[in-house]
Amino acid sequence: MCSIAGEIRPQGGVSGEYARDIQSVLKRRGPDQNGLYLSDSAVLIHTRLCVVDIENGRQPMSCLRDGSRYVIVYNGELYNTAEIRDELIARGCRFQGHSDTEVVLNAFAVFGSECVYKFNGIFAFAIWDEKKRRLFFARDRIGVKPFFYTVEDGKFIFASEIKGILTATGKQPEIDTQGVMEIMLIGPGRTPGYGVFKGIEELKSACCGFFDENGLRLHEYWSLTDREHTESFEETAEHVRFLVTDSIKRQLVSDVPIGAFLSGGLDSSLISSVASRVMKDRGEVLQTFTVNYKNNDRYFKATKFQPNSDSDFVGKMVDYLGCESHMIEIDTPELVQALFDAVEARDLPGMADVDSSLLLFCREIKKHVTVALSGECADEIFGGYPWYRDPTVRAVNGFPWAQSTKYRAGFICGEFTSRIDPEDYVQEKYNATLQSTSKLKDLSPLESRMKEMINLNHNWFMQTLLDDKVANKNKTTCK
């Protein structure tokens, strides 16, 4: 995980005097290297967690193409680096190293904004075109890597974290009525594209854009689209098997130690199994990491979300994999204290003990590896939640994981109670998501509802978990 930030003022007058302050507040995301590009019209800031091509992947990075100079700051992992590099070499590009940053930069120099259609990965980046005095920026299809921005007085300021923008502007954080409603009624989720704090926006997932003297222009380059399924069950199973295993293998490219989360559940066990085989072929042993809570065996209670304790299966998986296993135990007082650090990392109220436990867990993982694979968001994609499987839960009107609007509204008081109707606010967000769902004609009621569930999870619940994962990794990049 790295951080990016910058200010663009095409008419000139950029000082960059706050650049070092931004690097300081974002250093948690990128502790290994700092970089800075400064011109009269642009300042680009980078803090780096080194994973691939430690020496040649330094940022900001620049290249020349057809008389133009391009400068990039990039946060991400590109999983089809080799394929794109080969294509670019065939078009005359020459590379100094093997980092994905250099590939993304040259891809833009050759293909322009169309480069985003070629990328298989998770990313947020910004590229300054010195000749045209124009910034191009983009975020990955799912929104794994963060990108916040603000536009004011003819300038564009962006950063991986909200605190970076506040540092650049020198303004105190403010929230208006909508910000209060987002925190109290929608939180820990957020309306897609909304930065909660006044004047701050988030680049939506699968969006890119330009900023120059003509202002800001945004473009959505991808969306979930319903299509007819023509494969047989056997073909579908084989197709899914290939996509899952291929995605895991592509994430094992690293020049630093790599490991995997292992809870004993299906998702992490599958990922650890594939990763272990790949690493054995390299002559390496996979390191796995399991979190346990003190006295969990005494207090665990089964629910629809967690019908049994995954920890019962950890030992079996460790024996099967032959991996180097690390068991990390967390006690309740630690979780409570870490809540403050978790909110600081996230810049917003989050998922309480889920956030703090992940923060503590990753701190311990960092002592052993720099990169760790996890199975986050598998339930959203493969239907692991009750609202996919339970007909009663599935049929409920409103966000299935947030059925407590009336209770939450009870904490809103004073002037805010007269400004907005809580039930209407949440229902409007829910209805808008249903209306945006891509659905083929003549679907059965069940199929139609399942499409809506996929879209609801993609736009809301998945984004919440990704925010949590990104913010609280604490120097460990969890792919």
pLDDT by residue, tens only, the chain of 479 residues: 789 999 999 999 888 888 999 999 998 888 888 899 999 999 999 998 888 878 888 899 999 999 999 999 999 999 999 999 999 999 999 999 999 999 999 999 999 999 999 999 999 999 999 999 999 999 999 999 999 999 998 999 999 999 999 999 988 999 999 999 999 999 888 999 999 999 999 999 999 999 999 999 999 999 999 999 999 999 999 999 999 999 999 999 888 889 999 999 899 999 999 999 999 999 999 999 999 888 777 766 776 666 666 677 899 999 999 999 999 999 989 999 999 999 988 898 888 888 899 999 999 999 999 999 998 888 888 988 889 999 999 999 999 888 899 999 999 887 888 888 999 999 999 999 999 999 999 999 999 999 999 999 999 988 888 875 565 554 444 44
Determine the Cα–Cα distance for residues 104 and 108; give it in Å rounded to an integer. Answer: 6
Identify the CA nearest to 275 among candidates 259, 264, 262. 259
For the chain, state the CA radius of gyration.
Answer: 23
**What is the sign of the dihedral through the CA atoms of 375, 381, 383 and 386?**
positive
What are the structure tokens assigned to 12, written together?
């000139």
C-alpha dihedral sign at 353, 358, 364, 366: negative
Query: How far apart, in whole angstroms, are the C-alpha atoms of residue 58 and residue 50?
Result: 9
User: In this structure, what are the phi and psi dihedrals at residue 208, rounded to the nearest 5 degrees?
Assistant: -140, 175
pLDDT at 57: 86
428: which residues sit within 8 A by CB, 6+ positions away? none
Please tell me the distance from the alpha carbon of residue 150 to that of residue 463, in angstroms, as a whole number. 21
d(CA 161, CA 200): 11
> What does the alpha-carbon distance between residue 290 and residue 275 come to, in Å, rounded to a whole number?
16
Q: At what angle do helices 81-90 and 100-111 cross, to 10 degrees?
A: 50
Look up residue 470 and give its two tokens.
Answer: 């990104």
Helical (H) or strand (E) element with 431: helix 422-435
Listed in order, the ranges of the chain carrying CATH 3.40.50.620 are: 227-479
Report which DSSP code applies to 237: H
> What is the DSSP secondary structure assignment for residue 118, as one 8-state letter?
G
- Distance, in Å, from the CA atom of 455 to the CA atom of 478, rounded to the nearest integer, reads 24
The neighbouring-strand residues paired with 4 are 46
Contacts of residue 42, Cβ cutoff 8 Å, sequence gap at least 6: 6, 7, 8, 9, 14, 71, 128, 135
Q: What residue has token string 């990955």? A: 140
Q: Are 464 and 188 in contact (CB under 8 A)?
A: yes
Q: Which CATH number is 227-479 given? A: 3.40.50.620
For residues 364 and 338, give the distance between their C-alpha atoms in angstroms, rounded to a whole number: 13
- The segment(s) of the chain belonging to CATH 3.60.20.10 are 3-220
pLDDT the model gives residue 307: 65
Q: Cα–Cα distances in Å, from 157 out to 140, 145, 200, 217?
A: 19, 17, 10, 14
Determine contact, residues 345/338, Cβ cutoff 8 Å: no
**Residues in Cβ contact with 203 at an 8 Å cutoff, skipping those fewer than 6 apart:** 124, 137, 139, 147, 148, 149, 158, 193, 209, 218
Amino acid, res. 420: I
E strand residue ranges, 403-447: none
- Per-residue pLDDT, 226: 95
Residue 2 annotated to the active site: yes
- Architecture field, domain 3-220: 4-Layer Sandwich (3.60)
Rounded distance between C-alpha atoms, residue 386 and residue 48, angstroms: 39
pLDDT given for residue 475 in this prediction:
40
Count of CB atoms situated within 10 Å of the CB of 46: 28
Residue whose pair of structure tokens reads 């109670």 in the numeric block = 417
Strand spans (E) along 166-206: 201-202
Cα angle 38, 39, 41; round to 5: 120
B/e letters for 80-119, b = 16+ CB within 10 Å, e = fewer, are ebeebbebbeeeebeeeebbbbbbbbbbbbbbeeebbebb
pLDDT value of position 454: 94
453 phi and psi angles, rounded to 5 deg: -60, -40
Residues 150 and 165 sit within 8 Å (Cβ to Cβ): yes
Of the listed 2, 63, 207, 377, which one is catalytic? 2
pLDDT score, position 360: 94
Sign, Cα dihedral of 151, 155, 159, 162 = negative
